[in-house]
């Protein structure tokens, strides 16, 4: 008898952003004259920079001629891009990562969702709480998360690592030992970062327990503090236990172009099998490579001009982050994040729930943010604002909030 994949029925729906959209639409319908400012979404708003645009145009032109036309891309990525990544993101930072350990993809969302496929469904996963929802949902789909418990708002087989004010939004080693540990730093949604010293402890923990860390470094470009590592491979021993995910979305504005990559060192060996070989096989079977044109644009990110322009984008957003952080702090809010990340995580005032605070901002000052409880039970009582809007809108939104 035909059956659906019943694991999907355990998914809790994408209620977060759809509920936000519903509430905002209802408000707009009733108040068409009100100007709503959105500081809720994680999408960028600045256009692509000139060097990237030129690389795109040049690559498009190449496609018009028989001699330079490109068909299917190599499924692990073009050599020119893998080498540029290895050199700039790893070798220059003293990390021992080679071009053939880099797998180019269409972004960190797909990779963070798909990577679980190369592990047994028996493996136990540990995630931070609150968390980027893809890590949990992709494991629900594959049956690794177990049943959902409505009362505790979590999955039975998932090990949750609460990240709250009490531990400065940094996970502690869990009581149960996981097989797969998802870490994301700088963090979405809390905007927190991890010191190299602390990350080294996680790497040692993973090696000691024969676990694998899936390290999502999508926001690496926003790091401003010296003691915060840009890559997990800055830590000793990471080559035997860590997979790193990166994205061109937030540093270079590729959310619409789509480009990212995953690093799997050849030294991660489980029962005689390298994870590198499994992921290569998976890519070869299910993926035909990121578009040539986009990979050329990715290469341009690493040119001298490209690097300068990208820095300009990140600086633009981080100016917003500072405005949000300082504005709210000066107004008496308890805030974190915003220093090494484009996310500001604030404690809701007067013990309001995350959704009550959402309603207050929407109805009273017409600003949209994201309720922390939507990222996991430990996000209750918190709220996320993003620095990805325009500077003018950001200033207006914070001025409205702090005057309210
Ligand atoms: C933590 C984290 N990882 C991955 C992604 C997705 O990145 P990409 O656009 O490369 O798919 C996001 C996007 O918001 C994110 O917040």
- Which residue ranges form the domains of the chain, and what is each CATH number? 6-47+305-403 (3.90.1150.10), 53-302 (3.40.640.10)
- Spacing, Cα 43 to ligand 1 middle (Å): 9
Q: Which atom of ligand 1 is nearest to the CA of 42?
A: 14
* Those residues with Cβ within 8 angstroms of residue 163's Cβ, 6 or more apart along the chain or in another chain: 128, 129, 130, 169, 170, 171, 187, 190, 192, 378
- Give percent above pLDDT 70 in the chain: 100
Mutational test site, ligand 1, from 247, 257, 290, max ligand atoms within 8 Å of CB: 247
* pLDDT for 153: 87
Nearest to 83 by CA among 108, 58, 104: 104
Number of helices and strands in the chain (H, E)? 12, 17
- Spacing, Cα 33 to ligand 1 middle (Å): 33
Cα dist. 333→290, 346, 395 in Å? 43, 7, 16
Q: d(Cα 361, Cα 55) in Å, to the nearest integer?
A: 42
Residue bearing tokens 């800055």: 234
Q: Which atom of ligand 1 is nearest to the CA of 184?
A: 1
Give exposure, 110-120, as e/b (b: 16+ Cβ within 10 Å): bbbbbbbebbe
pLDDT in tens, 176-218: 999 999 999 999 999 999 999 999 999 999 999 999 999 999 9
* pLDDT for 186: 98
Pocket of ligand 1 (CB under 6 A): 42, 107-109, 112, 132, 184, 188, 216, 218, 247, 249, 255, 260
* pLDDT for 357: 98
Six-digit token pair at 337? 């994040």
Give the CA radius of gyration of the chain: 21
* Those residues with Cβ within 8 angstroms of residue 216's Cβ, 6 or more apart along the chain or in another chain: 108, 112, 132, 135, 182, 183, 184, 185, 245
Check: CB of residue 299 under 8 Å from CB of residue 291. no
Q: Which atom of ligand 1 is nearest to the CA of 110?
A: 11
* pLDDT for 238: 98
DSSP E strand stretches across 189-323: 212-216, 242-247, 260-263, 269-270, 273-274
- Spacing, Cα 403 to ligand 1 middle (Å): 33
- Spacing, Cα 108 to ligand 1 middle (Å): 5
The protein residue with its alpha carbon nearest to ligand 1, atom 14, reads 42
Name the stretches of the chain with pLDDT < 50: none
Mutational test site, ligand 1, from 40, 103, 112, max ligand atoms within 8 Å of CB: 112
The protein residue with its alpha carbon nearest to ligand 1, atom 1, reads 188
* pLDDT for 42: 85
The protein residue with its alpha carbon nearest to ligand 1, atom 16, reads 188
* Those residues with Cβ within 8 angstroms of residue 293's Cβ, 6 or more apart along the chain or in another chain: 56, 59, 60, 63
The helix/strand/coil state of 144 is coil
Mutational test site, ligand 1, from 17, 127, 128, 188, max ligand atoms within 8 Å of CB: 188
DSSP code per residue over 311-376: HHHHHHHHHHHHHHHHHHHHTT--EEE-SSSSEEEEEPGGG--HHHHHHHIIIII-EE-EEGGGG-
The helix/strand/coil state of 48 is coil
Residue 2, class by beta-carbon neighbours within 10 Å (0-12 exposed, 13-18 middle, 19+ buried)?
exposed
* Those residues with Cβ within 8 angstroms of residue 166's Cβ, 6 or more apart along the chain or in another chain: none
Q: d(Cα 325, Cα 222) in Å, to the nearest integer?
A: 15
- Spacing, Cα 69 to ligand 1 middle (Å): 31
Q: d(Cα 139, Cα 11) in Å, to the nearest integer?
A: 10
């Amino acid at each position: 008898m035909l059956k659906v994949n019943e694991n999907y029925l355990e998914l809790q729906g994408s209620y977060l952003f759809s509920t936000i959209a519903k509430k905002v639409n209802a408000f707009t319908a009733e108040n068409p004259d009100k100007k709503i400012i959105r500081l809720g979404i994680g999408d960028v708003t600045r256009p692509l920079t000139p060097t990237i645009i030129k690389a795109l145009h040049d690559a498009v032109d190449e496609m018009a001629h028989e001699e330079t036309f490109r068909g299917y891309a190599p499924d692990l990525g073009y050599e020119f891009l893998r080498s540029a990544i290895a050199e700039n993101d790893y070798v220059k930072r003293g990390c021992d990562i080679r071009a053939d350990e880099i797998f180019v993809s269409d972004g960190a969302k797909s990779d963070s969702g798909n990577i679980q496929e190369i592990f047994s469904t028996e493996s136990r996963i540990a995630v931070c709480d609150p968390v980027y929802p893809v890590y949990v949902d992709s494991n629900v789909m594959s049956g690794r998360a177990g049943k959902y418990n409505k009362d505790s708002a979590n999955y039975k087989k998932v090990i949750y690592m609460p990240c709250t004010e009490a531990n400065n939004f940094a996970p502690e080693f869990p009581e149960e030992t996981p097989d797969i540990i998802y870490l994301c730093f700088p963090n979405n949604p809390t905007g927190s970062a991890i010191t190299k010293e602390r990350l080294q402890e996680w790497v040692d923990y993973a090696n000691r327990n024969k676990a694998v860390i899936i390290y999502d470094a999508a926001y690496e470009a926003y790091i401003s503090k010296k003691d915060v590592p840009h890559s997990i491979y800055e830590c000793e021993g990471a080559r035997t236990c860590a997979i790193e995910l990166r994205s061109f979305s937030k540093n270079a504005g590729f959310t619409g172009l789509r480009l990212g990559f995953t690093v799997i060192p050849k030294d991660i060996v489980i029962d005689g099998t390298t994870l590198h070989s499994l992921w290569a096989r998976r890519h070869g079977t299910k993926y035909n490579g990121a578009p040539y044109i986009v990979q050329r644009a990715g290469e341009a990110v690493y040119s001298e001009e490209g690097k300068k322009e990208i820095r300009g984008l990140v600086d633009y957003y981080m100016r917003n982050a500072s405005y949000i952080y300082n504005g709210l702090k000066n107004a008496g809010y308890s805030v974190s994040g915003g220093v090494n990340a484009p996310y500001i995580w604030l404690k809701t005032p007067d013990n309001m729930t995350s959704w009550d605070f959402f309603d207050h901002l929407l109805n009273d000052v017409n600003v949209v943010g994201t309720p922390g409880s939507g990222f996991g039970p430990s996000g209750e009582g918190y709220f996320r604002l993003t620095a990805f809007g325009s500077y003018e809108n950001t200033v207006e939104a914070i001025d409205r909030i702090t005057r309210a």
